[in-house]
């Protein structure tokens, strides 16, 4: 598949109202895709639509933690785009755990927003992808899925679960010729990481992340990971014996 092949594709993208998703939406429109852009923030989606062109980017707001709202949104996307060739589930949040106040409700929020939203989305979109001649499924994980980091007990667990689910699904959907990509960015400058209180090695700008993701989607890379100067050493680090890994990881993202 070449870069040109994103042109004319009908793409449903969640988490498009901010950060990486917003930049990816703009990049996909630049490459000729027709995008249904989702998030809860209606104003942000309308602004984006005005910027990209209302005929190229259609806002489909909904709450991704709500299963029936997700089913309804998929129907709207199908009606507005006339079908779905690519679904990219990117919506997500991050909350760090304070082990002194270990709170199951924090886990419920993060699991619901990151993991279950993607499960609901896949459930709703698979029948639509099966009607496409060029179906393709993409989901947002993170390099944190490669190895554990301090305070990421909830966020990291959801991203590892997403990676496992998508890789498993890739095996099962191969028979139907539905490729599946998992996206694993390192640190990207967005409203989400602006809240972080620790050093973020090799953090990149959101436009660079969007280009990397669109390039990976055009090639249908099974795993889209970047920046390589961070993601590859992190993968290698995660292969170290646990004792050694723990000593390095504990220093990697230390609260300032």
Q: Under DSSP, is residue 100 helix (H, G, I), strand (E, B) or coil?
A: helix
> Applying CB under 6 A, which of residues 26, 49, 113, 231 lies at the interface with ligand NAP?
113
In this structure, the dihedral spanned by the alpha carbons of residues 202, 206, 207 and 208, taken in order and rounded to 10 degrees, is 20
Q: Which two tokens stand for residue 200?
A: 């973020």
Supply the minimum distance, in Å, between the C-beta of residue 39 and ligand NAP: 3
Nearest to 33 by CA among 205, 188, 217: 217
Decide whether 34 or 188 has the Cβ nearer to ligand NAP: 188
Nearest to 9 by CA among 164, 132, 162, 158: 132
In this structure, the dihedral spanned by the alpha carbons of residues 69, 133, 27 and 120, taken in order and rounded to 10 degrees, is 20
Q: Report phi then psi at 54, rounded to 5.
A: -60, -20
Q: Report phi then psi at 114, rounded to 5.
A: -90, -50
Residue 215 gets the label, from left (phi > 0), alpha (psi -120 to 50) or beta, of alpha
Told to check if 49 binds ligand NAP by CB under 6 A, we report: no
Told to check if 246 binds ligand NAP by CB under 6 A, we report: no
Supply the minimum distance, in Å, between the C-beta of residue 67 and ligand NAP: 12
Told to check if 70 binds ligand NAP by CB under 6 A, we report: no
Decide whether 69 or 134 has the Cβ nearer to ligand NAP: 69
Residues marked as catalytic: 155
> Applying CB under 6 A, which of residues 33, 65, 70, 78 lies at the interface with ligand NAP?
65
Q: Which two tokens stand for residue 211?
A: 């280009």
Told to check if 185 binds ligand NAP by CB under 6 A, we report: yes
Total residues contacting ligand NAP by CB under 6 A comes to: 30
Q: Which two tokens stand for residue 82?
A: 């006339």
> Applying CB under 6 A, which of residues 48, 81, 86, 91 lies at the interface with ligand NAP?
91
Decide whether 2 or 256 has the Cβ nearer to ligand NAP: 256
Measure the CA–CA gap between 15 and 225, rounded to whole angstroms: 19
> Applying CB under 6 A, which of residues 52, 126, 140, 160 lies at the interface with ligand NAP?
140
Told to check if 21 binds ligand NAP by CB under 6 A, we report: yes
Residues at the site binding ligand NAP, with contacts judged by CB under 6 A: 14-21, 39-41, 44, 63-65, 90-94, 113, 140, 142, 185, 187-188, 190-193
């Amino acid at each position: 598949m070449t870069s040109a092949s994103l042109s004319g594709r009908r793409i449903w993208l969640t988490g498009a109202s901010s950060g990486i998703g917003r930049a990816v939406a703009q990049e996909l429109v630049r490459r000729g895709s027709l995008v249904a852009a989702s998030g809860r923030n209606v104003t942000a989606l309308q602004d984006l639509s005005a910027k990209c062109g209302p005929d190229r980017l259609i806002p489909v707001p909904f709450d991704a933690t709500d299963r029936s709202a997700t089913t309804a949104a998929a129907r709207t996307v199908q009606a507005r785009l006339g079908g779905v060739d690519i679904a990219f589930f990117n919506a997500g949040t991050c909350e760090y755990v304070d082990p002194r106040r270990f709170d199951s409700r924090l886990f419920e929020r993060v699991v619901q927003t990151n993991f279950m939203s993607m499960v609901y989305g896949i459930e709703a979109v698979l029948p639509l992808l099966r009607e496409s001649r060029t179906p393709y499924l993409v989901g947002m994980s993170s390099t944190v899925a490669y190895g554990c980091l301090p305070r990421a007990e909830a966020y990291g667990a959801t991203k590892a679960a997403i990676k496992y689910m998508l890789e498993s699904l890739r095996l099962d959907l191969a028979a139907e010729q539905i490729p599946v990509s998992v996206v694993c960015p390192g640190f990207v400058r967005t409203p989400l990481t602006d809240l972080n209180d620790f050093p973020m090695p090799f953090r990149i700008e959101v436009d660079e992340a969007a280009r990397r993701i669109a390039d990976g989607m055009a090639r249908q890379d099974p795993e889209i990971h970047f920046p390589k100067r961070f993601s590859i050493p992190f993968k290698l680090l995660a292969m170290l014996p646990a004792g050694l890994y723990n000593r390095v990881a504990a220093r990697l993202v230390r609260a300032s």
